[in-house]
Amino acid sequence: MTMSVNADNGKETCVLIETTLGNIKIKLYDETPLHRDNFIKLVENGFYDDLQFHRIIKNFMIQGGDPNSKNAPENAQLGAGGPGYTIPAEFVYPKLFHKRGALSAARQGDQVNPKKESSGSQFYIVWGNTLSEAELNNMDSNLLNKEMQAVFNDLAKERQTEIQALYSNNDEAGLKKLQEELIKLTESKVDSSNAKLTPEQREIYTTIGGTPFLDNDYTVFGEIIEGLDIVDKIQSVETNPGDRPKSPITMKMKVIK
């Protein structure tokens, strides 16, 4: 099987997700080839057939792809299953972001997964809420702080030996001087305009909705092109504690042109 054939002929790959509440059609992004090709492989191998959307949080997202969810008893703990491998993160930000209808890869948390590698099979479809301009302005500020902290931490790692020596000598003045130096270096390296939501993001997040706080932390690799009303139905169902639907919602998938 040539899994990247659609990237070569200029046609995006689409997948039909048939659920017990209706059909959803998604397109996979060529900008995220590792996730695209892995998803195609799993779909063509029937991996997703009869699995459940095992985690649903209203006004947030619907999640599936855990192989342990197939015919799982009602009290089974789900969410830890996969094909036995992870996929390197493919962040194409800000072009690809968590707008409503985005298809994204689930993953383990940063503490055990600092490289933010994706689950080999689990995915989620974004619902989210619309946000106000004030909320987005606050997010811009948080994005800038996050970017500055990351750059500062990298610079500090490069001077770790020097920092340890200053600590060992209880040299508070030296530590303060070095901190000020690193702050100035950080400010010179960070372009504040790159740490802001784009006009397209602001337009979509204020009118259509999404989950911008997940941007650049989880890989977005596709989007819904038909059946967003079905996603709405799914994200609105009643759930038990643990966010599992009270009535199973199963899926089947096939690659379509």
The per-residue pLDDT for range 104-125, each reduced to its tens digit, is 999 999 999 999 999 999 999 9
139 and 118, same domain (yes or no):
no
Tens-digit pLDDT profile for residues 190-202: 877 666 889 999 9
The torsion angle over the Cα atoms of residues 168, 174, 175 and 179, rounded to 10 degrees, is: -150
For the cut 70, the answer to whether the pLDDT of residue 49 exceeds it is yes
Residue 27 lies in a domain: yes
Checking if the pLDDT of 11 tops 80, the result is: no
Give the CA radius of gyration of the chain: 21
CA distance 206 to 176: 42
Residue tagged 């259509």 (tokens)? 208
* 76 and 168 assigned to the same domain: no
Q: How far apart are CA 126 and CA 123, in angstroms?
A: 10
Confidence band of 7 (pLDDT split at 50, 70, 90): very low
pLDDT of residue 110: 92
Residue 140's domain comprises: 133-195
Instruction: Examine residue 179 and state whether it is found in any structural domain, yes or no.
Output: yes
pLDDT at 127 over 70: yes
pLDDT class for 9, splitting at 50, 70, 90? very low
Shared domain check, 122 and 138? no
pLDDT exceeds cutoff 80 at 100: yes
Q: Looking at the structure, do residues 124 and 137 belong to the same domain, yes or no?
A: no
Give residue 139's pLDDT. Answer: 86
Across 180-192, average pLDDT: 90
- What pLDDT is recorded for position 144? 87
Domain final residue pick, 166, 195, 224: 195
Does residue 229 share a domain with residue 251? yes
The sign of the CA dihedral 199, 201, 206, 207 is positive
Within a domain: residue 24?
Answer: yes
Percentage, residues of the chain above pLDDT 70? 95
State which amino acid sits at residue 255. V
Token code pair at residue 158: 């490069």
- Neighbour-count burial of 119, counting CB atoms closer than 10 A to its CB (0-12 exposed, 13-18 middle, 19+ buried): buried
Same domain, 67 and 165: no
Same domain assignment for residues 61 and 175 = no
**Facing residues of 26 across strands?**
15, 224
| Average confidence score pLDDT of the chain | 92
Closest-CA residue to 56 (of 240, 217, 252, 194): 240
The count of domains in the chain is: 2
- Beta carbons within 10 angstroms of residue 153's beta carbon: 11
Mean predicted confidence (pLDDT) in 142-158 = 90
Residues 88 and 153 in one domain: no
* Residue 120 included in any domain: yes
Q: Where on the phi/psi map is residue 12: left (φ > 0), alpha (ψ -120 to 50), or beta?
A: beta
User: What pLDDT sits at residue 48?
Assistant: 98
| C-beta of residue 123 within 8 angstroms of C-beta of residue 129 | no
* Statement to judge: residues 111 and 139 lie in one domain: no
Position of tokens 């790959």? 13
Element (H, E) at 191: none
- Total-model pTM: 0.84
Indicate whether 1 pLDDT > 60. Answer: no
**Final residue before a domain boundary, out of 195, 223, 238:** 195
Query: Does residue 63 have a pLDDT over 90?
Result: yes
User: Given this model, what pLDDT does residue 193 score?
Assistant: 66
CATH number (domain holding residue 69): 2.40.100.10
Q: Residue 13 falls within a domain, yes or no?
A: yes
- pLDDT reading at 209 higher than 90: yes
Q: Report the amino acid identity of residue 61.
A: M
Residues 168 and 124 in one domain: no
